[in-house]
Amino acid sequence: MISKLTIVAGFKEGRSYLRDTFFTRPFRIANVGQYKTDHDLYLMVMSASPGLLDKDRYDISIKLEKCAHLQLYSQAYQRLHSMQEGATQMIVITLEQGSAFSYVPHPVVPHQNSKFRSRTVVHLQKNCQLLLSEIITCGRKHFGEVFRFTYYHNLLEVYYQQKLVLKDNLLLQPQRLPLNAIGQLDGYTHQGMLVYINTGQESVETYAGEIMRLIENEKDILYGISGIAANGFVLRMLGNGGEQLFDCFTRVQERLWRCKPLKANHQEDPAH
């Protein structure tokens, strides 16, 4: 089944709002910002499906108009069921000048024999903020399905003014290359990646140490931050529980989203 989801966030009179949306089954959109004190837009992507099934295709388009701020939430863990041919997902995210987008979805649970390919393409303009994360579990651990999926492939491409500034290509094939082998996951069962990019003038290097301190007391995880070609960083994390990694990424998101110096600038940068 081909399922489509389109979200357009606008900005008017100092507030971000849902300018337009379109979706087909099983998607739904809910506004979850009733108790927020700022003027940003908070949406949750909901699904009536138990997860991605064989031959499913998700086509998702997210656009933020000038100065719009959108924080997107997922409803629950994303399950990838057993498949013959596989499922695919395509996400295109467009951020116009001065906009800010953040999405920390729940972990992905690939079931035995699942096959999944995903591609995410992001287009950034001046003075934008982007925060994206992904957490992949080993599968249904309590059902004995540790690394029993066939493959998981996710390609992330981020462009700033049509120039590629970040490309991350993740391919997991546990039946060909055991993920518990030396040089792979080092005995851990869950992995996560968080990307943060700011195309404004403010350098984000000083925040790397603060992000490290936010998670330094976590037990039984392995993590590190690396810089990228753009003004941003990638946080990678290994652990043994999806909730723990999700909680860490959520705290990082809250720090970056709420910190006033990191809020998107509504004025065009005169230096560009």
Write the single-letter amino acid at 112: Q
Q: Tell whether the torsion through CA atoms of 204, 44, 245 and 61 is positive or negative.
A: negative
The pLDDT of residue 259: 61
Full DSSP string of the chain: -EEEEEEEEEEETTEEEEEEEEE-TTEEEEE--TT-SSS-EEEEEEESSSSB-TT-EEEEEEEE-TT-EEEEEESS-EEE---SS-EEEEEEEEE-TT-EEEE-PPPEEEPTT-EEEEEEEEEE-TT-EEEEEEEE--S-GGGT-TT--SEEEEEEEEEETTEEEEEEEEEE-TTTS-TTSTTTTTT-SEEEEEEEEE-SSS--THHHHHHHHHHTT-SS-EEEEEE-SSSEEEEEEEES-HHHHHHHHHHHHHHHHH-GGGSPPSS--TT-
Q: For 231-259, what is each residue's pLDDT tens digit?
A: 999 999 999 999 999 999 999 999 999 76
Q: Which residue has the tokens 């230096």?
A: 271
Mean pLDDT, the chain, rounded, equals 92
pTM: 0.93
Provide the pLDDT for residue 262. 46
Given a contact cutoff of 8 angstroms between Cβ atoms, the answer to whether 63 and 97 are in contact is: no
Cα–Cα distance measured from residue 210 to residue 216, given in angstroms and rounded to the nearest whole number: 10
For residues 35 and 64, give the distance between their C-alpha atoms in angstroms, rounded to a whole number.
22
pLDDT tens profile 31-83: 999 888 899 999 999 999 999 999 999 999 999 999 999 999 999 999 999 99
Nearest alpha carbon to residue 133 among 249, 263, 230, 7:
249
| pLDDT tens digits along 144-158 | 899 999 999 999 999
